């Protein structure tokens, strides 16, 4: 593959990775919106629906026998599944079931935890019941759940392998690009920093490419414009370190060329 083709692939795959990153951030934001109501102890559903529910305690919960509940409707029930306590958290999990004959509207669920301190023993939940599934879905905060019917976090997990693949491909192509550039006698500056009033720069050409200590190497902008020179200080087999006057306008994506690039 020619240098121009490799550079083009790196450019477009890099843009794809950036786009995936933006999409991932939007999906994460949508996911937090999806969980906003539950964080505020607000649940919603429709007649006949069941969904997971959980709660926390500041004290150790020994068993689900320490848990009980009351609701504003007999058709709304809570089945406690398990309780778990550790150094990090004390929590319970269960299933919230909305009966098929529940009247649409706002209902309340009160969960009592005997393990909790008195002032925190009862936790109130709001249960919003809609008349049918379409009405319920139209009120979902999550755009993804509302229109695709899946949780945003599944979309996020699906994006991660694609993002990783893009990174891997760009990494391999960048190595190939560096080899092609080195074979033609030029390479990009991969590290640039200030050293007093001068620039200290590292580039991927070394003794294997004919670079010697004390050499004066020309520096070019990506468009081929000459921007100055640098003096080689340290030489290694595949890379070198040079110093350039600080008044020169040098950037990290500029190139060092031992001879004119074709």
How would residue 140 be classed by pLDDT, with cut points 50, 70 and 90? confident
Please write the tens of the pLDDT for every residue from 170-197. Answer: 999 988 888 888 888 888 898 999 988 9
Q: Containing domain of residue 236, as a range? A: 186-257
Examine residue 262 and state whether it is found in any structural domain, yes or no: no
What are the structure tokens assigned to 169, written together? 């491909």
How many domains is the chain partitioned into structurally?
3
Does residue 260 carry a pLDDT above 60? no
What are the structure tokens assigned to 204, written together? 């991927």
How would residue 132 be classed by pLDDT, with cut points 50, 70 and 90? very high
**Cα 36 to Cα 187: distance, rounded to the nearest angstrom:** 50
Examine residue 52 and state whether it is found in any structural domain, yes or no: yes
Please write the tens of the pLDDT for every residue from 102-126. Answer: 999 999 999 998 888 887 888 899 9
> What pLDDT does residue 259 have?
63
Does residue 172 sit in the same domain as residue 199?
no
How would residue 95 be classed by pLDDT, with cut points 50, 70 and 90? very high
**Cα 104 to Cα 176: distance, rounded to the nearest angstrom:** 63
Non-local CB neighbours of 240 within 8 Å, separated by 6+ positions = 202, 203, 205, 206, 211, 232, 233, 234
What are the structure tokens assigned to 65, written together? 């026998």
Does residue 141 sit in the same domain as residue 102?
no
> What pLDDT does residue 104 have?
94
**Cα 52 to Cα 18: distance, rounded to the nearest angstrom:** 35
Does residue 16 sit in the same domain as residue 138?
yes
Higher pLDDT, 88 or 167: 167
Examine residue 195 and state whether it is found in any structural domain, yes or no: yes
Does residue 33 sit in the same domain as residue 159?
yes
**Cα 241 to Cα 231: distance, rounded to the nearest angstrom:** 9
Higher pLDDT, 40 or 206: 206
């Amino acid at each position: 593959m020619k240098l121009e083709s490799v550079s083009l692939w790196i450019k477009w795959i890099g843009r794809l990775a950036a786009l995936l990153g933006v999409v991932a951030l939007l999906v994460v934001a949508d996911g937090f919106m999806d969980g906003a109501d539950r964080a505020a102890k607000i649940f919603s559903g429709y007649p006949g629906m069941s969904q997971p529910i959980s709660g926390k305690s500041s004290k150790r919960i020994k068993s689900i026998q320490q848990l009980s509940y009351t609701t504003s409707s007999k058709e709304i029930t809570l089945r406690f599944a398990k309780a778990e306590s550790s150094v990090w958290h004390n929590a319970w999990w269960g299933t919230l079931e909305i009966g098929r004959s529940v009247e649409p509207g706002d209902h309340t669920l009160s969960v009592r935890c005997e393990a909790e301190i008195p002032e925190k023993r009862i936790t109130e939940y709001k249960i919003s019941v809609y008349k049918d599934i379409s009405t319920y879905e139209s009120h979902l905060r999550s755009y993804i759940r509302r229109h695709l019917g899946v949780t945003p976090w599944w979309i996020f997990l699906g994006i991660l392998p694609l993002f990783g693949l893009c990174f891997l491909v760009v990494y391999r192509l960048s190595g190939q690009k560096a080899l092609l550039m080195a074979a033609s006698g030029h390479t990009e500056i991969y590290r640039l920093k200030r050293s007093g009033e001068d620039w200290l720069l590292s580039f991927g050409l070394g003794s294997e490419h004919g670079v010697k200590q004390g050499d004066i190497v020309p520096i070019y902008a990506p468009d081929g414009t000459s921007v100055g020179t640098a003096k080689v200080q340290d030489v290694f087999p595949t890379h070198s370190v040079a110093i350039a006057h600080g008044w020169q306008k040098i950037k990290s994506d500029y190139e060092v060329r031992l001879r004119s690039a074709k």
